[in-house]
Chains A and B, each alone.
Chain A
Amino acid sequence: MELLKPEVLEKIRTLNLRAQIIVKGFLTGLHESPYHGFSLEFKQHRPYYQGDPINKINWKLYARTERFYLKKYQAETNLSAYILLDKSNSMRFGENISKFHYARTLAASIAYLLLKQNDSVGLVLFDSRIESFIPARCRMNHLKHLFSTLSKKEPSGKTSVSDSVFELLPLIKKRSLFIIFSDLLEDPDKVTKNISVMKAKKHEVIVFQILDRKELNLTYRTEALFRDMEDRISIFTDPKNIRSLYKDKFEEFILKYKTEFAAKRIDYSGIITDTPYDKALTKYLEKRKHLP
């Protein structure tokens, strides 16, 4: 979907509108929406009519009544989701669209999607510590508050997912779903360790590692002074010389996250900022489908 390409959508200034377009576009593109299958709660049975999907028939009830009935669902209202968005300086990086802008739009879209399904959504903006905390609510007008906060913030500070998570945990009493958007450019051991604490406390966690393609491949041509966006340290180097080694190291870094998160049964997904939003949302829904 051309419209859901990040660079195209970035031209729409209002986050609200952007999120709506993404979600509606995304839902229109689905043939069979997984949306109806998991975030809804059983309400009652209804008789089977010709043309209804056979796999929806309640066979147990058929065994008892010898009639075909289909289960009818209604939306859940008790799922509490928190969107954790990394607003550190490293998220400012990006060739066409910054990692922060991409993550923010994706977060807004998911928030909109969740609220549309009557889930309650909260927002946490963090760098090395929590910058903003909005408790989860399930009213649609809560969305305005969320979008307003998302729109106002710009990247700053150093990344520390682990510290922020650690700081957040005492604030959340109810069993919740945490959706983390970050480039996770810090020690993987520390990050996975603290996120696994969340898991241990019966929370569900989905991690989106947002990365830029240039950052992945180091596609610079000439020698340059590379300056760390967070701690301002500089290194003079020739990207062509170190590209291969750099890519190997980066892949190793990502692989470590993948294996660590997989070992701890934490859903992890790496997203590059040129991925269309609908694909990124699909990834979210795939992860979400596996949740109880």
Chain B
Amino acid sequence: MSFPSFLILLPLIAVPIIIHLLSSRRLKKIDFPSLLFIVKNEVRLMKWFRLKRLLLLIARISLLVFLILSAVNLKIPFSFFDPGKSIILDNSPSMEKTAGKDKDGFIVPMQSGIPEFSSYFERNPVGILITDAQRNAFAEIIREKKSFYGIEIKKTSFPEGNFAVIDAVSGPSFEEENFSVSFTVLNEYQEKRKTKFTFKSDETVIAEDNTILTDGKNTLDFSLSLKKGLHSLSLELEDGKGFDFDNTYYFAVNVKSRQDVCILSDKYPERLTAALSPSYFNVKWVREISGIKEDLFISLNAEQKQLRDLLDSPNSGIICLGESENTSISNKIPNRISTIVNESFLKDFSDLKALSQIPISYNSLITRGETLIYFKNGNPFISKLENHLILPFSPEENDLSLYPIFIPFLFNLIEYLSEQSIYKNILLDEPVTITSSFKPEMISPTGKKCYPLEMGNDNYIFKQTKECGIYKIVAGNKTIGLIAVNNHPSESELESLSDDELQYIFGGSGLSNGSSLFLIIALLCFVLTFLIERKI
């Protein structure tokens, strides 16, 4: 029970007072056969009787008051019956390095500390918490209006300011092309400030210079050329005057070759070409199957004979059935409109929710292959047949291709069919799902091995990423992917909790939990009550 709640219990104090008032009105009277042997000591006794009643009243009220105080964990300005205190260290990022002369920071922040300790506080209400009281770390506690009494706060100095890299974006990266990456840097010194940056690719410094950052958000753009494959990038800021936290940002990229996409269609595929033209695919249109070389293909309204040849083709492709008659893999059906089920085999395709809200019309019912996505009516939306994906409609004739979501959807389908490398950029504590035919392992930036949970269908999930940096995904002895893990941008926000807020959460530092003391006093009051009633 928190301190203000104890007001609800206050009326209980009235109970002994009422008992006292009622009993004082009724002096016990005893009819006795003879008073021959009863000794008179009325005056002295009456004084004692009144005193006793008063003492009883005080003792009973005190008993209740101290019981209530004990129940509400009221704090006292001195330590009583100290059973030993835990020292709890806030290891949130802001505790990593603090600006200032004394540089009294801690060096191994691994996670958002305070939320982790929230449940610990509830189990162990006595302890010393060393923290810089960064608002972000206490966000959950404040949101849930939790309060902890008995935790003494030792507040470390709060950083005067901070340079933090909070985000990075890049376009698709292709072999032999310049690759641009743009980092967002937060200057919280509330002034223009010169800082040194170091930009690394695979631990090799590729750019190093000084820059002047204005107050607030800044952008640092880099352009570089990378070889085909996975690369880990990092940008580190360092102020000459002090140290900053969250000042390194990790970023994983996959540099690929341009993908040739061949569209097989009788008519010019206007919509598909438009959708793929601003992308990084080499798109060409052919009328005959013989025109498809080593490319990935998209076929529209293929006839039965063409279909047979396409399915036998060693090339991967997307076969769009459209309004074709019955084929070996589909049946022609009257026009149906449905939405899709929001579950995707395309793990990277986060916009499937948006796609699932669009009604899609189709005229074919796919009868073969493994269905990867269903319509809500149970019909297949995408099926996989050998190394091909089958769609029950033609994008050229379907309204779906007019929606903006179609382009990323199509990209993801092409990515799915082409050779993939795993690379992801996630935030701390975010789970990662990996699709691999081998059971992968993840090696943390400090070299710790993480093992995944098997989710079926070659999917593995790594639930906890506790360190910032680049994690390697290893299957067998081969690195099959990179995961860049960074702090949540809000971790970099500099704002300390006010003393009032800390007072609310922890009841003020330097105070101890008085429950034990109040309980003992209540017990003494009870004994006193008993003794007074027995007249000692």
Contact = CB atoms under 8 A, between A and B. Distances in A.
Interface of A: 90-93, 99, 183, 185, 212, 215, 220, 222-230, 233-238, 240-242, 245-246, 249-250, 253
Contacts of A215: 32-33
Nearest to A187: B36
Contacts of B32: 93, 215, 226-229
A247 to B, nearest CB: 8
Contacts of B38: 226, 235, 237, 242, 246
B30 A220 contact: yes
Interface string B30-48: 1111111111111001101
Given A237-B40, A237-B45, A241-B45, A230 B29 contact: no
Nearest to A224: B28
5 contacts: A90-B34, A93-B32, A224-B27, A227-B30, A241-B39
Contacts of B45: 223, 236-238, 241
A250 B42 CA distance: 21
Contacts of B305: none
Given A236-B42, A241-B41, A223 B35 contact: no
Given A237-B45, A238-B535, A227 B37 contact: no
Nearest to B533: A222
B120 interface: no
B34 A225 contact: no
Nearest to A238: B45
A104 to B, nearest CB: 16
B30 A224 contact: yes
B42 to A, nearest CB: 5
A246 B37 contact: yes
Contacts of B533: 222
Contacts of B42: 235-237
Interface in B21-78: 27-42, 45-46, 48-49
A57 B36 CA distance: 55
Contacts of A220: 30
A128 to B, nearest CB: 14
Contact of A235 (B33, B40, B48, B535): B40
Contacts of A212: 33
A248 B36 CA distance: 12
A229 B40 contact: no
Interface centre among B27, B29, B31, B42 (most CB of A within 10 A): B31
Interface in B497-536: 533, 535
Contact of B33 (A90, A223, A236): A90
Interface in B197-252: none
A229 B36 CA distance: 12
A208 B124 CA distance: 74
B28 to A, nearest CB: 4
Contacts of A224: 27-30
A227 B29 CA distance: 7
A249 to B, nearest CB: 4
Contact of B27 (A91, A225, A235, A238): A225
Contacts of B31: 92-93, 227, 229
B41 A238 contact: yes
Nearest to A185: B34
| Chain B contact patch, size range | 20 to 34
A240 to B, nearest CB: 6
Contact of A250 (B28, B37, B41): B37
A242 B28 contact: no
- Give me the 9 closest cross-chain CB pairs, A-B, nearest first: A90-B33, A224-B28, A249-B37, A185-B34, A93-B33, A242-B39, A226-B32, A225-B29, A228-B35
B33 A185 contact: yes
Contacts of A249: 36-37
Contacts of A234: 29
Contacts of B35: 226, 228, 233, 235
Contacts of B40: 235, 237
A255 to B, nearest CB: 13
Nearest to A225: B29
A90 B28 CA distance: 19
A246 B39 CA distance: 7
Contacts of A237: 38-42, 45
Nearest to B45: A238
Given A235-B42, A236-B45, A228 B535 contact: no
Given A91-B33, A228-B34, A238-B49, 7 more contacts: A185-B36, A225-B30, A227-B29, A235-B40, A236-B45, A246-B38, A250-B37
A273 B46 CA distance: 33
Contact of B28 (A93, A222, A228): A222
Contacts of B39: 237, 241-242, 245-246
Nearest to B42: A236
Nearest to A252: B37
B509 to A, nearest CB: 50
Contact of A226 (B30, B46, B49, B535): B30
Interface centre among B27, B28, B46, B49 (most CB of A within 10 A): B28
A223 B28 contact: yes
Nearest to A226: B32
B46 A236 contact: yes
A250 B46 CA distance: 25
Nearest to A241: B41
Nearest to A242: B39
A10 to B, nearest CB: 19
A249 B39 CA distance: 10
B40 to A, nearest CB: 6
B41 A225 contact: no
Given A236-B46, A238-B535, A225 B36 contact: no
A245 B41 CA distance: 13
A238 B46 CA distance: 9
A23 to B, nearest CB: 29
Interface in B322-342: none
Contacts of A233: 35
A183 B38 CA distance: 17
Contacts of A250: 37
Contacts of A238: 41, 45, 48-49, 535
A140 B29 CA distance: 45
Contacts of B30: 220, 224-227
Contacts of B36: 185, 249, 253
A236 B533 CA distance: 17
Nearest to A88: B33
Contacts of A227: 29-32
Contacts of A223: 28, 45, 49
A228 B36 CA distance: 9
Contacts of B535: 238, 240
A253 B35 CA distance: 13
A222 B45 CA distance: 12
Contacts of B28: 222-225
A200 B41 CA distance: 43
A215 B33 CA distance: 8
